[in-house]
Amino acid sequence: MKKLKTGKSNFRASRLSITSKIAIALSLLITFLISVVGISVILKQQALFKAEFKDKGWSIVHTALPYFSNYLQSSNLDYVNSIIKAIGKYQDVSYVMVLDEWGRVVAHTDERQVGKKVDDDATKNVMSIKSDAVNLLLDDAGKPALMDFYAPVKTTGGSTIGYFRMGVSLAGLTGQTRQTSVSIILICLAAIIAGIFLAQLITKRMLKKPFQDLTVATERLATGDFSYKVRIYSQDELGDLANSFNTMTFHLANLIHSVQSSVIDINKSAEQIIGQLQTSGRTNNKLSQTFDLLKQGTEEQVAILKQSSSLAEQLSEQSKNAMDGILQILSEVKKTVQVSEKGVNDISRVGDNIQQSGRSLAGTRNLIRQVDEKARQFSQTIADFSELLKKTNSCTVQVALEAARSGNEELARAAETLHAISEESAQRVSQMSSELADVDNTWSAAEKAMDSNIKSLSEGQEAVTEAGDSLEKVMRSLLQSKDFIEAVASSAQQQSANIEDIIRSQSGIINGLLKSIKKSSGAGSDTKVQMENLHDIDSLTKKLIRMVDRLNVLSLQFKTQ
């Protein structure tokens, strides 16, 4: 680990700053430009010196040609030799010679060459074209050493009587060019050094301080301090960059403020939701207990009705037996009266039970209405929670975007987790809304069934009352007179019919109560499902609160003064 830290510190110590890189780039650019300018100046000076050298050579040649023409025509070679020697003393002149029209040397700075014939290619070419020419002669190294001038010596009539040839050494030209090149190179080096120094000075003064301020501002922003402002030194691109950085810092501070306020709002809303969920849970528990009691009471009523139905069947059987043997019935009138009294009492109890069942069903119906109202309120609460989740999703997306923009990966991951939880909560809330709609429909059906059962109980009560009246009539008939056996028989028939009606009514009441029990069981199961959903929402809300607390901790790391 120590070696890694040492390598990292060495890397930081050895890296170049951007101002140094810009200074080096400007220095290289200045060096390149001055080098190009220097080379172009040297080449132009060489061409200028060469042209000047060539012009001077042709000036000497064209000045001496008229004299050579006159002296050759008069065969005065002494004057020709004197002119050649005078020209040969000029600086950089290597040799001077005059050839006759056949190429023999008639005068030369080197007297040993006089009388020799010159037959090289350059001389032959000039003799063939009979016009001025200049050639460059190379040394052994392949570099230009001499500039050889040729010119025909002509008479006033235009005929060629000889040729003038002069060799000029290029050593002086080379030395002069070298000296000029050295001077230009020294000037270029001085300009390069001055340019490098100036580039270093400009970059340090114009770039180093703004970049240092931006670095300090970035480090403080990374630690969560949004109060630092970058100083604007100039109204150029660096000034625009500093201004943009300050604007970004301001917007980030506002964003953190909004995140903190959103976290507070979410905490409050979550606490309210938890309170409402707890209240709903208690209400559902009470409702479940009420349904259990209602089911138990209804089952007891069904048992009583079954007993009453069995008694009515027994009474019907006895009435039939009375029709078969009235004499036997007369002998046992007292027993029949006792049985009738018992039936009246049972029917009275059945009527009381039916009336009590009606009141219980009415109370159940009112309770169902209250539950339906609570379910609607809970649906509104779920709708508000859904809207809150949508706002949370929007805020979470903004937090994720700003976290990704600022490079805070932990805040981005927390925002993504919060977004996933919000999406899951939205799905659960949507599922719960649909389940609540189903429960509401079940409540409506149960309420209708309760109304139908109440109506059936009312009709059953009326039937039981009628049955009691009939039994009382039978008893009075039996007690008044035995002579009215036929009337008793008809009354027995009427009694049998009434008992059958009672049995049918009781069967309808029993079926209605059984259906009510089934629907109540369904409502109880729906209530259990609702309680389970409330438990899921409670767990999701607690998870949301934990994520909000985590987001709050992350946002508190940033100081927005």
Supply the pLDDT for residue 343: 67
Give the separation between CA 149 and CA 136, rounded to whole angstroms.
Answer: 9
Strands (DSSP E) found in 344-495? none
- pLDDT of residue 3 exceeding 60: no
User: Which residue intervals of 89-233 are DSSP H helices?
Assistant: 121-129, 171-203, 209-222
The radius of gyration computed from the CA coordinates of the chain, to the nearest angstrom, equals: 64
Helix%, strand%, coil% for the chain, nearest 5: 80, 10, 10
pTM higher than the cut 0.75: no
Q: At what angle do helices 237-324 and 485-556 cross, to 10 degrees?
A: 170
Supply the pLDDT for residue 19: 65
Give whichever of 112-116, 215-219, 280-284 has the largest mean pLDDT: 112-116
Confidence at 5, pLDDT banded by 50, 70, 90: very low
Tens-place pLDDT, residues 197-256: 777 777 766 666 777 777 877 877 777 777 777 777 767 776 777 788 788 877 777 777
Supply the pLDDT for residue 553: 64
Looking at domain 12-198, what is its CATH homologous superfamily? PAS domain (3.30.450.20)
Q: How many helices (H) and strands (E) does the chain have?
A: 11, 5
Supply the pLDDT for residue 488: 57
Place of tokens 């009075």: 476
Q: How far apart are the first and last CA of the chain?
A: 38
- pLDDT of residue 556 exceeding 60: no
Give the separation between CA 219 and CA 228, rounded to whole angstroms.
Answer: 10
Supply the pLDDT for residue 313: 73
Q: What 3-state DSSP class applies to 152?
A: strand
Confidence at 2, pLDDT banded by 50, 70, 90: very low
- pLDDT of residue 458 exceeding 50: yes
Angle CA(237)–CA(241)–CA(247) in degrees, nearest 5? 140
Supply the pLDDT for residue 327: 59
Q: Which amino acid belongs to residue 476?
A: R
Residue 107 makes CB contacts below 8 A (sequence gap 6+) with 77, 80, 81, 84, 97, 98, 114
Which of 139-153, 267-281, 526-540 is predicted with the least confidence, judged by mean pLDDT? 526-540
Average pLDDT over residues 263-270: 75
Confidence at 487, pLDDT banded by 50, 70, 90: low
Confidence at 336, pLDDT banded by 50, 70, 90: low
- pLDDT of residue 59 exceeding 70: yes
pLDDT above 90 coverage of the chain, percent: 0
Confidence at 265, pLDDT banded by 50, 70, 90: confident
Average pLDDT over residues 417-441: 76
Question: Contact 498/491 with Cβ under 8 angstroms?
Answer: no
Place of tokens 């043997």: 325
pLDDT above 70 coverage of the chain, percent: 68
Supply the pLDDT for residue 112: 86
Give the separation between CA 472 and CA 552, rounded to whole angstroms.
Answer: 82
- pLDDT of residue 13 exceeding 50: no
Average pLDDT over residues 1-7: 42
